[in-house]
Chain A
Amino acid sequence: MADTAAVQVEGLTKSFGETTALAGIDLQIREGTVLGLLGPNGAGKTTAVRVLATLLRPDAGRALVFGTDVVRQPAAVRTMIGLAGQFAAVDELLTGRQNLRMVGRLYHLSPAEVRTRSDELLERFDLVDAAHRPVRTYSGGMRRRLDLAASLLNRPRLLYLDEPTTGLDPRSRADVWQMIKALVNGGTTLLLTTQYLEEADRLADQISVIDHGRVIAEGTADELKSSTGGQVVEVRVTRAADVGRAVDVLSSIGDADATRTADHVATVVAERGVASVADAAEALRQAQLDVTDLALRRPTLDDVFLDLTGRAVEPEPSSNGDRPHGRARRGGAEARV
């Protein structure tokens, strides 16, 4: 099969009263690839998915799924897609198995297929032991996995995952990522929305950054990172109250304006590499700030987002304010004082 566009979106707009959710976005997903739709809360990600899933009619523009128009032939589109929502749309009172079987029946699978496919998915998503329990007894991670399983019953050619790990603890998130990876390796085309940069970085082939209902940047994770240019100096202070002063100090070394990127962290683009770190270290010493970490590293998608929008993405909901991708930082060039 030739390169087919799994999704082709042109000039899509949607407003709710005064609020513009989509201000004309264009997207394209090649079959068998993963597009990460990255943006903060309220950027329009969910609205875009709802239009593509035939749940919402756009005001203008066009959206095709494997060449089929979502507005004109919604019923045909529905046979090709799977949707796992932001708020796991599973039935609390039914058991895990009953949930899957119900969705299977609604996809008009044969009774035998309903049974085998449900069992297969329970196995794959590690839910066999809990299959007979009502979903209300499930943990958040188990619900997401069940929701994901339900979206796969009809072996969709295209899967929409709307913030699949929002609100999950890091461990459950890693589990869900692993399962998504396996899906993608199996050839499923995926549209993934996320506000977690690490998630897009890990799972997506292409990333579209959206903000205020517009695509403000697109490319691979590497392309987006190199668009920010150079490296960044990142300072982690001991006391969150000092972060404002750290921003001032970093701005004073003359490379660029620094920004607060997390509770304890200030970041600045380092135009001069190690020389910038040396200046930063000297300036911090003079300001007598308590610093736990000072590093020169390659930009992350966080920096890209910050660079594009002037705002940091929502902090990750983890216990100590550390963003998980901080752990991946070791890969970059690093200098310590």
Chain B
Amino acid sequence: MTTATIDPTGTAPSTPRITLGTALSDAATITGRYLTHIIRQPRLLVFSTIQPVMFVLLFVYVFGGALLQSPAIQEYGSYKDFLLPGIFVQTVAFGATQTAIALAEDLNKGVIDRFRSLPIARSAVLVGRTAADLVRGFAVVMIMTVVGLIIGFRPQFFGLLAAIAVVVAFGFAMSWIYAVVGLSVPTSETAQAASFVVTFPLVFASAVFIPPTTMPDWLRVFAENNPITHVAEASRALATGIGGVAEPLLWSLAWIVGLLAVFVPLAVNRYRKMS
């Protein structure tokens, strides 16, 4: 060709530039897709909303009385004030496993193949998916807060907002671990099973439900150094104003940054190299 012609198909073979703007808008499109999924499954939405509410009510009314014998909990006046900021962490940790399940399912159905054949940022699908978890996690924590307030949870307002921000950010970081899991297992069932094996011990051997002081030594050491404990303690200190904030907060932020620094590149790399 000697003259410049306008290609009627508009697809000249030049490498398209992917700017931060297009990468973010691609991710937003993917987030929209996953949030639409939530709306499209109303029964799933109802039950997955009831579940954390049920947890709050069961723990408060079944264990609350007995646990108030513990001096560490008495400090908070009621088990509600101890539990709520902690159980937020449990909720986002389990919620983050949705990333593994959804990605494994999309991989199996060939949806990821379609996305990978499109001229979009290599990070878009993963950022979009984890952002959807972030939105969902925030919504569920808000619902739990309202239920908590109704049954007598009395947090400090700005402290509570800060607590929710830390918890939700931690959930987002956890989602990236599950992104790696989701891209590494053959089916969504395996993704779910694998995620639970990781999540259960982390959540229960932590300071979410009780202070770890009564655990056997080996477990206590694990619980005290468990990131979920740090985030639960930071959330609790921020929301209630009881206990030192600085140490657990710094640990939490370090974990969030650390998890993102390790698992974002790992997940994106895995996504790029997938075959």
Q: Which residues of A contact B (CB under 8 A)?
A: 1, 50, 53-57, 65-68, 73, 75-81, 83, 85-94, 98, 102-103, 105-108, 134, 150, 154-157
A68's closest neighbor in chain B, by CB?
B13
Task: Specify which chain A residues have a CB less than 8 angstroms from the CB of B25 in the assembled complex.
Answer: 105
- Whether the pair B119, A107 counts as a contact (CB closer than 8 A) is yes
- Nearest Cβ distance between residue A112 and chain B, in whole angstroms? 15
Task: Specify which chain B residues have a CB less than 8 angstroms from the CB of A105 in the assembled complex.
Answer: 25, 29
- Nearest Cβ distance between residue A255 and chain B, in whole angstroms? 46
- Nearest Cβ distance between residue A188 and chain B, in whole angstroms? 10
Bound-state CA distance A57–B10 (Å) is 27
Residues 183-223 of B, flagged 1 when their CB comes within 8 A of A and 0 if not, give 00000000000000000000000000000000000000000
Task: Specify which chain B residues have a CB less than 8 angstroms from the CB of A89 in the assembled complex.
Answer: 109-111, 113-114
Binds A, one of B33-41, B55-63, B146-154, B240-248: B33-41
- Mind listing 12 A-B residue pairs with CB under 8 Å? A55-B117, A73-B13, A76-B13, A80-B11, A83-B113, A88-B110, A89-B114, A91-B111, A93-B40, A102-B29, A103-B114, A105-B25
Task: Specify which chain B residues have a CB less than 8 angstroms from the CB of A150 in the assembled complex.
Answer: 114
Binds A, one of B15-23, B65-73, B74-82, B167-175: B15-23
- Nearest Cβ distance between residue B33 and chain A, in whole angstroms? 6
Bound-state CA distance A91–B109 (Å) is 9
Given A83-B117, A89-B109, A107-B118; 16 other pairs, CB 8 A cutoff:
A55-B113, A55-B116, A56-B275, A65-B13, A76-B16, A78-B16, A79-B13, A80-B11, A88-B110, A92-B109, A93-B36, A94-B33, A94-B37, A102-B33, A106-B26, A108-B22
- Whether the pair B117, A106 counts as a contact (CB closer than 8 A) is no
Task: Specify which chain B residues have a CB less than 8 angstroms from the CB of A85 in the assembled complex.
Answer: 110, 113-114
Bound-state CA distance A91–B29 (Å) is 14
Question: Which residue, A1, A67, A98, A102, has most C-beta atoms of chain B within 10 A?
Answer: A102
Task: Specify which chain A residues have a CB less than 8 angstroms from the CB of B24 in the assembled complex.
Answer: none
- Nearest Cβ distance between residue A305 and chain B, in whole angstroms? 27
Q: A76-B16, A105-B29 are in contact. Are A54 and B37 (CB under 8 A)?
A: no
Q: Which residues of B contact A (CB under 8 A)?
A: 1, 9-11, 13-16, 18, 22, 25-26, 29, 32-33, 36-37, 40-41, 109-111, 113-120, 124, 275
Task: Specify which chain A residues have a CB less than 8 angstroms from the CB of B29 in the assembled complex.
Answer: 102, 105-106
Q: A56-B275, A93-B36, A105-B29 are in contact. Are A155 and B117 (CB under 8 A)?
A: no
- Whether the pair A83, B114 counts as a contact (CB closer than 8 A) is yes
Bound-state CA distance A102–B30 (Å) is 8
- Whether the pair B33, A91 counts as a contact (CB closer than 8 A) is yes
- Nearest Cβ distance between residue A154 and chain B, in whole angstroms? 7
A-B complex: 9 closest residue pairs judged by Cβ atoms: A89-B110, A89-B114, A78-B119, A93-B40, A76-B15, A83-B117, A87-B110, A56-B275, A105-B29
Bound-state CA distance A88–B114 (Å) is 10
- Whether the pair B33, A54 counts as a contact (CB closer than 8 A) is no
- Whether the pair A157, B9 counts as a contact (CB closer than 8 A) is yes
B8's closest neighbor in chain A, by CB?
A155
Q: A53-B117, A93-B37 are in contact. Are A67 and B110 (CB under 8 A)?
A: no
Q: Which of A76, A93, A98 sits near B41, CB closer than 8 Å?
A: A93
Task: Specify which chain A residues have a CB less than 8 angstroms from the CB of B9 in the assembled complex.
Answer: 155, 157
Bound-state CA distance A54–B116 (Å) is 8
- Whether the pair B14, A76 counts as a contact (CB closer than 8 A) is yes
- Nearest Cβ distance between residue B117 and chain A, in whole angstroms? 4
Task: Specify which chain B residues have a CB less than 8 angstroms from the CB of A57 in the assembled complex.
Answer: 275
Bound-state CA distance A98–B116 (Å) is 19
Task: Specify which chain B residues have a CB less than 8 angstroms from the CB of A56 in the assembled complex.
Answer: 275
Bound-state CA distance A98–B111 (Å) is 14
Bound-state CA distance A161–B262 (Å) is 38
Q: A50-B275, A79-B13, A105-B29 are in contact. Are A94 and B109 (CB under 8 A)?
A: no
Task: Specify which chain A residues have a CB less than 8 angstroms from the CB of B124 in the assembled complex.
Answer: 106
Task: Specify which chain B residues have a CB less than 8 angstroms from the CB of A92 in the assembled complex.
Answer: 109
Q: A55-B275, A89-B110, A91-B33 are in contact. Are A78 and B117 (CB under 8 A)?
A: yes
Bound-state CA distance A83–B22 (Å) is 22
